Structure 1
Amino acid sequence: MSERIRIGQIGVCHEHAAGKMNTLRRMPGVFEIVGFVDDRGTAAPKAAGRDLEPFAGLKQMTEQELFATPGLRAVTVETPNNDLVPAALRCMEKGLAIHMDKPAGEGDALADFKRLLSGCREKRLPFQMGYMFRNNAAMQFCLRANKLGWLGDVFEIQAGMSHDYGGEEYQEYIAKFKGGIMFNLGCHFIDFIVFLMGRPLKITPFLKSAPGYPRGVRNNCLAVLEYAHATATIRACSKEVRGGSHRRLTVCGTKGSIDLSPIERFDGRPLEMRLTLREGNAEYEAGEHILNMGIKQDRYKDQLAELAKMIRGEMENPYTCEHDLLVQEAVLAASGYTEWK
């Protein structure tokens, strides 16, 4: 049996911080949690940090104490968005493997993000970003189907990342980002689309406010990613009724299509998706298929298991630093921070 990996967490204020710690605690055979750094004093915009139950019984420490912990090998960075890259840079400088949540900061953080990626490459440190669909079974199937040519040439992608949680406090939070909800949530689908399709030729953002909100509250957004013979649209609004359970993905190609909604579920029921094929292949006949993608109880477990394998040298990161940089550049353009070039 492999020796457990000593790991700590910086931050309790990212929207995924509590969930990430819950997952680490469900993996006692893989990780030994040495403690966490409470970052609730940050001035960065945040929408989480009240739920400390996942951290109960764990040692609270300063960042300096965490870095001084004997045998520490990895850190999960779960600070608010704008603190992610600075914290990860400090981890890189200490020679630690990193799981850093998303997105990689606003426009002024891009140079530091490049320095982070370069440092991890030079030091050969595992670096994993927390885009939450990377280990989604249905979306992995979609990537495989495309690679095998089952869908033909993809010409259309439609993605929806809306929700209705958080009340007015969430609207106030999202208003603090120039890129609004596209920056905060659309990034998950940008990661998927760029992995599927490569570098876009053009990116156009439409950053709107939902009815009843001033222009600065960009909580109703659309981004269009253009390719030579395809368009990909990503929509996100924080006021769609039950929007979280209606998140959706459609990928259409000249030989077939995939429809997925909801994108994920953790209610004990299997995730299902529709595959439609013009031609049969070695695994599926022509026609429409409803595929059972299995029951999943934990969004993060498979990704953190991959992190452990990377640390042990058992696998290479399927997402390169070059991909992570391209995604961040696309996120900034789709969120109105930069012009796409």
Structure 2
Amino acid sequence: MEKIKIAQIGVCHEHASGKITALRRLPELFEIVGVVDDNATSTTPKFSGKNLQPYEGLKWMTEEEVLNYPGLQAVAVEVPNNELVPTALRCMEHNLAMHMDKPAGEDLALYRKLLDGCRERNLPFQMGFMFRGNPAFQFCIAAIREKLIGEVFEIEADMNHNYGGDEYQEYIGKFRGGIMYNLGCHLIDFVAAAMGRPEKVTPFLKSAPGCPETIRNSCMAVLEYPHASVTLRSSSRAPGCQRRMRIAGSKGVIEFSPLERFDGRPVELSLSLGENSGSFPAGEHTLRFLPQTDRYVEQFKELAKVIRGEAQSTYSYDHDYLVHEITLAAAGYTQWR
């Protein structure tokens, strides 16, 4: 089959270089026609974009050239956070399939307009949440849905880190929702897929010790379900941390840390069962998942199938809207209803 013609709009998103790297690893599926360098045009907070080495050898284009490129089928939207949805709307108006990075902006109504437009035009739309291609997360979603550990009553997870120094703290301080807005959305995508719509969402947006109160870089959100509570944390002042997950149910517990790794070693997940469940006997189990080489390759493989009509997207427009609805409440932008 002919390769799918795709372009990347933006290099200033924190995950932009990861997306172009993933696309370049799939030459049998995609023809990268060009990339838009938005360093000179971006006006909203950004933390990346200076290193252009991942784009070496690719054609530099303007956004207008991309949107009017003959035969273009898809775009990866990788501009800074708060420019993602306006840029994606312009792509939608040109009937282009999309992979769009996260989070989906501070205006929920504008995001709804984008999703409704894609739905009406039957355009493939894919959000770039980084755990969607992670086999350990896929196992956990299935385990919760299929009640492998019984009725889940507690989930605890974090997106803590300690990179970026003072520059990163200043960057996060430019978002009213702080690091919960910027990173918490990855975990919310997982929780919404596994647990559905919460009854209540409560944010706790704090600054880490020694940082101005305007920098919300130590955040927590609690999502409440009829018989479960979900506690999500994200801090950018956590030295030596390993991001972690713990899921407790009436039959057992799942725990793993780190959440991902790309050093050739497998992610190891601990499954403790108080009784036989599914294909697992009662007792302690260690599950090892094949090492990942890239966060996004599996997502782009799925996008290619959806564009070619060979598959339906794993995640619906409604799911993507729910994720952002929760994210904005968890980051203090909106009141949960």
The one-letter amino acid paired with 1:60 is: W
Q: Equivalences for 1:44-83 in 2 at 5 Å?
A: 44-83=44-83
Q: Report the counterpart of residue 297 of structure 1 in structure 2.
A: 293
Q: Report the counterpart of residue 271 of structure 2 in structure 1.
A: 275
Could you say what secondary structure the match of 1:274 adopts?
Answer: strand
Aligned structure 1 segments of 4 or more residues deviating by more than 2 angstroms:
none
Could you say what secondary structure the match of 2:254 adopts?
Answer: strand
Q: Equivalences for 1:187-336 in 2 at 5 Å?
A: 187-243=185-241, 246-336=242-332
- Aligned 8 A contact 2:144 2:195 in 1: no
- TM-score after normalising by structure 1: 0.97
The one-letter amino acid paired with 1:207 is: L
- Aligned 8 A contact 2:85 2:105 in 1: yes
The one-letter amino acid paired with 2:323 is: V
**Rounded Cα–Cα distance in structure 2 between residues aligned with 1:162 and 1:93:** 37
* CA RMSD, 1 decimal: 0.8
Displacement of 1:169 in angstroms is 0.2
**Rounded Cα–Cα distance in structure 1 between residues aligned with 2:264 and 2:134:** 15
**Rounded Cα–Cα distance in structure 1 between residues aligned with 2:309 and 2:253:** 36
Comparing 84-93 with 62-71, greater Cα deviation is found at 62-71
Q: Report the counterpart of residue 158 of structure 2 in structure 1.
A: 160
Deviations 1:130-162 (CA, angstroms, capped at 9, x unpaired): 011111100100111122221111000001100
**Rounded Cα–Cα distance in structure 2 between residues aligned with 1:145 and 1:186:** 22
Task: State percent identity of aligned pairs.
Answer: 59
Q: Report the counterpart of residue 19 of structure 2 in structure 1.
A: 20
- TM-score after normalising by structure 2: 0.98
- Aligned 8 A contact 2:92 2:118 in 1: yes
Q: Indicate which of 172, 175, 181 corresponds to 2:173.
A: 175
Deviations 1:170-194 (CA, angstroms, capped at 9, x unpaired): 0000000000000000010011111
**Rounded Cα–Cα distance in structure 1 between residues aligned with 2:143 and 2:235:** 29
Could you say what secondary structure the match of 2:215 adopts?
Answer: coil
Could you say what secondary structure the match of 1:332 adopts?
Answer: helix
Deviations 1:261-310 (CA, angstroms, capped at 9, x unpaired): 00000011111100111222342111110101111111110011011011
Deviations 1:108-141 (CA, angstroms, capped at 9, x unpaired): x211111110111011000000011111100100
**Rounded Cα–Cα distance in structure 2 between residues aligned with 1:135 and 1:152:** 25
Q: Report the counterpart of residue 126 of structure 1 in structure 2.
A: 124
Q: Report the counterpart of residue 28 of structure 2 in structure 1.
A: 29
**Rounded Cα–Cα distance in structure 2 between residues aligned with 1:277 and 1:91:** 48
The one-letter amino acid paired with 1:64 is: E
Q: Report the counterpart of residue 85 of structure 2 in structure 1.
A: 85
Could you say what secondary structure the match of 2:170 adopts?
Answer: helix
Gapped runs of 5+ residues in structure 2?
Answer: none
**Rounded Cα–Cα distance in structure 2 between residues aligned with 1:101 and 1:267:** 24
Deviations 1:183-241 (CA, angstroms, capped at 9, x unpaired): 00001001111111111111111100000011101000000001111100011110101
The one-letter amino acid paired with 2:64 is: Q
| CA shift in 2, pair 1:199/1:282, >3 Å | closer
Could you say what secondary structure the match of 2:114 adopts?
Answer: helix
The one-letter amino acid paired with 1:96 is: L
Q: Report the counterpart of residue 182 of structure 2 in structure 1.
A: 184
Could you say what secondary structure the match of 2:197 adopts?
Answer: coil
**Rounded Cα–Cα distance in structure 2 between residues aligned with 1:202 and 1:256:** 25
**Rounded Cα–Cα distance in structure 2 between residues aligned with 1:100 and 1:72:** 16
Could you say what secondary structure the match of 2:60 adopts?
Answer: coil
